[in-house]
A and B are shown apart, each in its own frame.
Chain A
Amino acid sequence: MSDQPRFAHASEAELARILGYYQVDWRYEPRAFPVRWNLDGAVVESFAPDFYLPEWDLYIELTTLRQSLVRKKNRKLRRLRELYPMVRVKLFYAKDFRALMLKYGRIDVAASMTGLPGQVGPGAAVDADRRSASDDATRSSAPAEHRRARRPVSAPVRPG
């Protein structure tokens, strides 16, 4: 469908499916929060949580990165919480997502995340690294165009 967001990782697409299945309204990366500026006041680093659940005014960040990159994300999350104390963000680590997949019987998806520590799989890991490296000044002006509400997505994840 034309309004489907292009997910950065298979894990995000899977979470979108789960939220859609349970009829939870969500937005994909609707907002980027600047967390660092240069001396000229230009944004040099920002943080765009993956999902926003408007009903709970809650952002969800899924991270399936290697531990070294998780540390970077944790730092950015701490910075975000300092700068935007009213913004609620919940961070899901790879182990959390694996456990979620086991809960829903998605053993194949969970197993695909065990090849490398903290990664969905080799292909996704490349994307994850690339995304982290550019994270996220370029996304700070991303429009809130990726949105889905109470519908499942047909993102290319492995079938159940």
Chain B
Amino acid sequence: MRGSTGAPPHVPDLAADVGDILIAASDIRAKVSELGARLTEDYAGRQLTLVSVLKGALPFMADLMRAISIPVQIDLMEVSSYGGTSTETSGLVRILKDLSSPIDGRDVVIVEDIIDTGLTLNYLLRYLRGKNPATLRVCALLDKPARRLVEIPIDYRGFTIPDQFVVGYGLDYGEFYRNLPFIGVLRPEVYGQS
């Protein structure tokens, strides 16, 4: 969750709060289809498990799994976020929701909405490697490399985006805007940076 310690300064206005549409819904659909086709081809005849990270990746996961035409299992994880609560600046990252099923011997693809610093994903990769999957890859809808702190191999990449505060298609600010069907740039005045 982004912007979680401070509530949005006003009741969100989904239309007015977004300045520009960075990626239109139709472009997202096309990219998801393309990624699904690639995964279908790459994992043909194998045991694919998609692991999505709550909450932002949910729309992407839901669409991506339906764009894959081989048998696929899904699972969900949730990881605590730095600054998510007042106690989350002094502790360590925690698994809030672990996998429901074992993944040892399976081909696993982590499905992420956005890779920014790479810190969460780096932690997840380390954690999931410990569960002995046959393979472990990363599929991210959005790659924002400008603020990357740790280098993460992205095997399936949707869009590379500039360093802007984006919302929509699962991405939030203060838990809102996730239901927008497109990726938009949040107006700076919404998060008090104008």
Contacts and interface: CB of A to CB of B under 8 A. Distances in A.
Contacts of B146: 96
Contacts of B90: 17, 152, 154
Interface string A48-86: 000001011010100000000000000000000000000
A154 B89 CA distance: 9
B19 interface: no
A45 to B, nearest CB: 27
Interface string A72-112: 00000000000000000010100010111011111110110
B123 A22 contact: yes
Interface residues of A, number: 34
Interface residues of B, number: 36
Contacts of B5: 105-108, 160
A21 interface: yes
Given A23-B93, A23-B123, A152-B91, A102 B85 contact: no
Contacts of B81: 104-105
B86 A160 contact: yes
Nearest to A51: B149
B150 A53 contact: yes
B6 A105 contact: yes
Query: Is chain A's binding surface mostly helix, strand, loop or mixed?
Result: mixed
Given A58-B151, A160-B86, A22 B6 contact: no
Contacts of A92: 147
A114 interface: yes
Contacts of A17: 82, 89-90
B191 A107 contact: yes
Given A60-B149, A96-B147, A99-B163, A22 B119 contact: yes
A152 B88 CA distance: 10
Contact of B83 (A23, A53, A106, A150): A106
Contacts of B150: 24, 53, 55-56, 58
A56 B149 CA distance: 10
5 contacts: A18-B119, A24-B150, A60-B149, A105-B1, A105-B83
Interface of A: 17-24, 53, 55-56, 58, 60, 90, 92, 96, 98-100, 102-108, 110-111, 114, 150, 152, 154, 159-160
Closest 3 CB pairs of A and B: A104-B83, A22-B119, A105-B4
